[in-house]
């Protein structure tokens, strides 16, 4: 299957699924029907012309598959309807009519995948499957998990939604307020995994990052005045703008200070800066906006030494008051080290309690190694770089950290 067709099917899959679920209400059965329709399209459209209305074609084929399945299982459905009647509950209605708008349907499907009955890990997996159009095999590969593990995880997520009695509908205002932060967090997690893979031979998974950006755009279309929605989309754009410069041709990690800034995506930087600037002027300040503002400051500097580290340190300090996350402290420590002194940055790291989980991550060790190198504590820096290399499963990161240790010239 060529890439254009693959991209078309991936774009249409959530729209068709959303339309079917809106019409029939059975998420798991509709999802199966859409997958069969996609397989049929992948076979037929590669040997012939793509239909004039590909979405309508997929909807009709998936609908027929679903109806066939319903008819084949009619005895079970009658038993369920009888049981529902005996319990005083009407059977679920199957409204007629065409699917709703693409934006509303995709958004409603995204909110459904982020139902509170579903665990965070399953929310990510289900969102990628139902809204992102990725196959179970692709999702499993993205997180380096066996298909035998990822498949049941997605099935449990769908079962959780069904057991909770969730239905597909335009999200009510109270549901929006409850679930929007979860939706944003899920998209943030997907983007982060795409930007720096937690493990594997590649530093980045551009497909996951691109999918997170696409979905963030859908959410922003629905909530154009929400500052944190705009902030998250801006953060993704400003961060992803550096993607091409983050690796050498052989896949080696290139740190921010050594990147060729001419390779950064100027259009993404312009859009991201415009989004975060508008959000900070017109909406209550939030963590995603602050992170995006930090990203904008990095992107507008022609070189590392020209970066406004003092302002970045202030933004991190504000961010810590909103989100007291140890990862935020790492960014603040670097900013303080660059704007004040490496010793001041190290002091912030040393204040982290021994029991803090962040101390067991490669990010803590690598940040500490970086600052130790700055103050000339080579022995300690080498030990920290080596420790960091053992704590990451991402091969390019491992290689970079080991090379940093070796470059200090200490055996």
pLDDT tens-place string over residues 270-314: 999 999 999 999 999 999 999 999 999 999 999 999 999 999 999
For residue 260, pLDDT over 50 is answered with yes
Q: Each residue of 74-119: pLDDT tens digit?
A: 545 555 555 555 455 444 433 333 444 555 577 778 888 888 888 8
CATH 1.25.40 residue window(s) in the chain:
320-411
Distance CA 314, CA 181 (A): 25
Q: What's the pLDDT at 95?
A: 35
Percent of the residues in the chain that have a pLDDT greater than 70, as a whole number: 88
CATH number of 320-411: 1.25.40
Quick one: what percent of the chain has pLDDT higher than 90? 48
Averaging pLDDT over each range in 41-55, 171-185, 319-333, which range is the top one? 319-333
CA 30 to CA 22: how far, in whole Å?
10
pTM greater than 0.85: no
Residue 247 forms beta bridges with which residues? 253
pLDDT at 244 over 70: yes
pLDDT, average across residues 216-222: 92
Mean pLDDT for 126-138 is 80
Mean per-residue pLDDT of the chain: 86
* Structural contact between residues 342 and 371, judged by C-beta atoms closer than 8 angstroms: yes
Name the phi and psi angles at 269, rounded to 5.
-65, -45
pLDDT at 13 over 50: yes
Question: Bridge-partner residues for 51, per DSSP?
Answer: none
What CA–CA distance (Å, rounded) separates 276 from 280? 6
pLDDT, one tens digit per residue, over 141-160 is 767 678 888 888 888 888 88
CB–CB of 128/190 below 8 Å? yes
pLDDT at residue 10, rounded to an integer: 79
The answer to whether the CB of 27 falls within 8 A of the CB of 161 is: yes
The average pLDDT across 19-45 equals: 84
The stretch 372-379 carries a mean pLDDT of 94
């Amino acid at each position: 299957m060529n890439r254009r067709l693959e991209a078309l099917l991936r774009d249409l899959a959530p729209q068709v699924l959303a339309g079917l679920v809106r019409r029939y209400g059975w998420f798991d059965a509709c999802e199966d029907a859409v997958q069969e329709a996609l397989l049929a399209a992948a076979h037929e459209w590669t040997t012939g012309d793509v239909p004039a209305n590909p979405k309508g074609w997929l909807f009709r084929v998936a609908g027929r598959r679903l109806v066939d399945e319903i008819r084949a299982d009619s005895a079970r459905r009658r038993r369920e309807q009888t049981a529902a009647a005996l319990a005083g509950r009407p059977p679920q209605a199957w409204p007629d009519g065409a699917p709703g708008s693409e934006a509303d349907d995709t958004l409603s499907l995204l909110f459904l995948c982020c139902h509170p009955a579903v665990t965070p890990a399953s929310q990510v997996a289900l969102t990628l499957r139902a809204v992102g159009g990725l196959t179970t095999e692709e999702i499993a590969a993205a997180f380096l998990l066996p298909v035998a593990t990822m498949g049941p995880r997605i099935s449990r997520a769908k079962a959780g939604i069904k057991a909770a009695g969730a239905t597909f509908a335009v999200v009510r205002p109270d549901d929006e307020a409850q679930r929007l932060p979860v939706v944003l967090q899920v998209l943030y997690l997907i983007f982060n995994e795409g930007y720096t893979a937690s493990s594997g031979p590649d530093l980045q998974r551009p497909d996951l990052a691109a999918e997170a950006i696409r979905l963030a755009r859908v959410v922003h279309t629905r909530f154009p005045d929400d500052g944190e929605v705009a902030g998250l989309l801006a953060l993704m754009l400003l961060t992803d703008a550096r993607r091409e410069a983050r690796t050498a041709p052989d896949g080696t990690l290139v740190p921010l200070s050594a990147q060729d800034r001419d390779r950064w995506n100027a259009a993404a930087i312009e859009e991201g800066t415009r989004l975060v600037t508008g959000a900070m002027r017109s909406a209550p300040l939030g963590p995603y906006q602050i992170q995006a503002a930090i990203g904008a400051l990095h992107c507008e500097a022609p070189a590392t030494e020209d970066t406004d580290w003092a302002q970045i340190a202030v933004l991190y300090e504000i961010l810590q008051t909103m989100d007291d996350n140890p990862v935020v402290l790492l960014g603040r420590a670097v900013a303080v080290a660059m704007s004040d002194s490496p010793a001041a940055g190290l002091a912030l790291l040393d204040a982290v309690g021994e029991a803090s989980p962040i101390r067991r991550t490669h990010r803590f060790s690598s940040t500490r190694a970086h600052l130790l190198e700055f103050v000339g504590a080579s022995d300690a820096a080498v030990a920290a770089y080596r420790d960091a290399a053992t704590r990451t499963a991402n091969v390019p990161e491992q290689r970079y950290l080991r090379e940093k240790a070796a470059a200090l010239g200490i055996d």
